[in-house]
Structure 1
Amino acid sequence: MVRKMGFYAVLAYVLYGLFFYWYLFQFAEPKLPFEYQGTKADPSTFLNGRELMLSEEYSKFRNLLFFLSTPFEWLFYFLILLFGFSRVFKRWAEHSTKYKYLHTAIYLFWLSIFAFIATFPLSYISYSLSKTYHISTQSFPAWMKDELIDFWINFGTWLIIVPVLYWLMKKSKKRWWLYGWLLSVPFTLFMMFLQPVVIDPLYNDFYPLKDKQLETKILAIADKAQIPAKHVFEVDMAEKTNAMNAYVTGIGSNARIVLWDTTLNKLTDNQILFIMAHEMCHYVEKHIYWGIGGYLLLSLFGLYLTYRLMNWAVRRYGKELKIPDVRDIRSLPLFFMIISFLLFTASPFTNLASRYQETRADHYAIEMTKNPEAAITSFQELTRSGLSQVNPPLLVKIFRYTHPSMLDRISKLEEFEIKQRNIE
């Protein structure tokens, strides 16, 4: 029975991968709709032939890796349970020390190490792909350093969460999901508060914007938007990537507006002012807080579903999965598998909400700056530097895109430009 379940799980993953390979490389039509051809949203008007070819190639491979990576996690955790590795990790933990309170930490360490090793090939392929297409400029040692930082941050975070979660399971078999969610609220807010000042600096150097003339212009827009900003931060990313980005992070007094130095190097002041006005909208309309609220609401529903699904799986397949009880630490891979599946399933809805907020921010920025030419050319340059698809396939847009496609964004800006010209 165990071998049969393992075989079908691997077969399902292979068929799933073949479907997305066919969808991305054979079925999805990259051709631009007729009504957009020749407009400023048409990539052939601002990308040369080689750039068009590279953007299509790179996007297809990158999208395929995305669709393969998350279900691979499910397969990994399923096989860990099915072939008894979870039971082995627990035995190793118990034999390592007589102190019971360390058993969970040791078990989690072994599970994390095996997960890191199993997923490393896909991570390396993704890194190698970005190097091949000259998106990444990061050396392998620097990339490996970031991977190890990721590992220890994730391990440290779960080292706080998992012991508390399983203690709650033992204390309240039917309500642990609710108590766990209640504790997650202050923990989430605390982590969001720490993100800009503790976690992000582990990866990159942050400092106030060096170009003081540009900072003065940005702060003038911030004052117009009634944002009490004193600094705009730039981050050293040129050693890692050729892509560009800007974002808002943190909450409360730790909230920051951040510009990558690649953005500063490649865009004009007017283009940067549009990007900054876009980011300011997230602050003005409190998108960060809406996002936190939505995340907490989804996590409540997600933990309840996890509770129900874990109990069902252990009742139905506990023997095959080597899980005698949900409250046993051996059920942790099942917990991770279900959480990952639910996050993937919810991503079309969270992405839809994010795209709405980003559309609002684009509208706010163009109304604030009144410079559609700078806005359009900034998006064109973002497309070029990141080899992004202007018009991605539907499933890619649904599952991957937290921002509207460049086709949507540039075409709306072009409409604004035409209306502005008619008014004048």
Structure 2
Amino acid sequence: QVDASRQTTKISANVAGFLGTTRIALNDNLLKQCTLPEIRSVMAHEMGHYVLNHGVKLTLYFGIFFLVGFALTRSLFESAVRRWGDRWGVRGVADPAGLPLLALILSAFFFVLTPFSNTVTRATEREADTFGINTAREADGMAKVALKLGVYRKLDPGPLEEFIFFDHPSGRARIRMAMDWKAAHLPAGDVDPGGPATGTPTQP
């Protein structure tokens, strides 16, 4: 448990650590504000990150992004210095006078990269959602957590907005996933542990 309520009212959970130090942490807001089915759905989602090795995969992906970014930054920097270095008074990559240019190029690269890095992260979150709902079988719990997250995260962004700015699936997408899963796996009349019975009860 993470004591986050002193700083925020947001609910959150995460997987942290590497190799033998990996742990799943649920903040105290989550434990206080959510029902057991909702907590189980979140816990199963975080277990998905662990089981699917998302920490290692994301480290690899972002390591590649950084390598490409540094290589591209150096190439563009050297090209700019060859063309305008005398005018700017920049002699090379080791010249402190070139730091603003390096920062500008690197910042521009990561700005352009943002939609793609968000897409990579969003894909792993989607995988964890799939693992979580199949493990916990808490469709209503998952949907209700998505609604609670909607207090501070837009529930229904447009496709372009989600592509550029969202590193998690939108609340609408998560609720749709939960309801589609429920329709496919919980026949009418069955009870989802995370919600009320579905279907029309029969009279004795």
Q: TM-score range by the shorter chain?
A: 0.7 to 0.9
Once residues 60 and 6 of structure 2 are traced to their aligned partners in structure 1, the CA distance between those partners, rounded to angstroms, is 35
Once residues 332 and 250 of structure 1 are traced to their aligned partners in structure 2, the CA distance between those partners, rounded to angstroms, is 33
Pairwise CA distance, 1:320: 4.5
1:331 paired to 2:89: no
1:347 match: 114
Under a length normalisation based on structure 1, what TM-score does the superposition of the two structures give?
Answer: 0.43
Pairwise CA distance, 1:335: 1.7
Pairwise CA distance, 1:290: 0.4
1:414 paired to 2:184: no
2:170 match: 405
2:199 match: none
- The one-letter amino acid paired with 2:20 is S
Deviations 1:133-171 (A, max 9, x none): xxxxxxxxxxxxxxxxxxxxxxxxxxxxxxxxxxxxxxx
Once residues 253 and 352 of structure 1 are traced to their aligned partners in structure 2, the CA distance between those partners, rounded to angstroms, is 28
Task: List aligned pairs for 1:50-69, cutoff 5 A.
Answer: none
- The one-letter amino acid paired with 2:147 is Q
Pairwise CA distance, 1:366: 0.8
Once residues 261 and 340 of structure 1 are traced to their aligned partners in structure 2, the CA distance between those partners, rounded to angstroms, is 36
Deviations 1:178-201 (A, max 9, x none): xxxxxxxxxxxxxxxxxxxxxxxx
Deviations 1:20-48 (A, max 9, x none): xxxxxxxxxxxxxxxxxxxxxxxxxxxxx
Pairwise CA distance, 1:395: 3.9
Pairwise CA distance, 1:409: 0.8
Task: List aligned pairs for 1:360-379, cutoff 5 A.
Answer: 360-379=127-146
Name the SS of the counterpart of 1:293 in structure 2.
helix
Once residues 279 and 350 of structure 1 are traced to their aligned partners in structure 2, the CA distance between those partners, rounded to angstroms, is 20
Once residues 37 and 82 of structure 2 are traced to their aligned partners in structure 1, the CA distance between those partners, rounded to angstroms, is 61
Once residues 163 and 138 of structure 2 are traced to their aligned partners in structure 1, the CA distance between those partners, rounded to angstroms, is 30
Deviations 1:256-293 (A, max 9, x none): 21112111111112211110110111110101100111
- The one-letter amino acid paired with 1:308 is S
Listed as ranges, the gaps of 5+ residues in structure 2 are: 191-204
1:64 match: none
Once residues 263 and 409 of structure 1 are traced to their aligned partners in structure 2, the CA distance between those partners, rounded to angstroms, is 18
Mean Cα deviation higher: 251-260 or 388-397: 388-397
Select 2:50's aligned residue among 283, 308, 316: 283
- The one-letter amino acid paired with 2:148 is E
Q: Given that residues 40 and 138 in structure 2 are in contact (C-alpha distance below 8 angstroms), is that contact kept between their aligned partners in structure 1?
A: no
2:69 match: 302
Pairwise CA distance, 1:399: 2.2
Name the SS of the counterpart of 1:257 in structure 2.
strand
- The one-letter amino acid paired with 1:422 is P
- The one-letter amino acid paired with 1:407 is R
Task: List aligned pairs for 1:17-416, cutoff 5 A.
Answer: 234-384=1-151, 386=152, 388-416=153-181
Pairwise CA distance, 1:246: 0.7
Q: Given that residues 149 and 171 in structure 2 are in contact (C-alpha distance below 8 angstroms), is that contact kept between their aligned partners in structure 1?
A: no
Name the SS of the counterpart of 2:150 in structure 1.
helix
1:195 match: none
Pairwise CA distance, 1:422: 2.7
Once residues 333 and 250 of structure 1 are traced to their aligned partners in structure 2, the CA distance between those partners, rounded to angstroms, is 34
Once residues 181 and 136 of structure 2 are traced to their aligned partners in structure 1, the CA distance between those partners, rounded to angstroms, is 12
What is the alpha-carbon root mean square deviation over aligned residues?
A: 1.7
Q: State the identity %.
A: 30
Under a length normalisation based on structure 2, what TM-score does the superposition of the two structures give?
Answer: 0.85
Once residues 381 and 329 of structure 1 are traced to their aligned partners in structure 2, the CA distance between those partners, rounded to angstroms, is 48
Once residues 407 and 316 of structure 1 are traced to their aligned partners in structure 2, the CA distance between those partners, rounded to angstroms, is 50
* Number of residue pairs aligned between Structure 1 and Structure 2: 189
Which has the larger helix fraction? 1
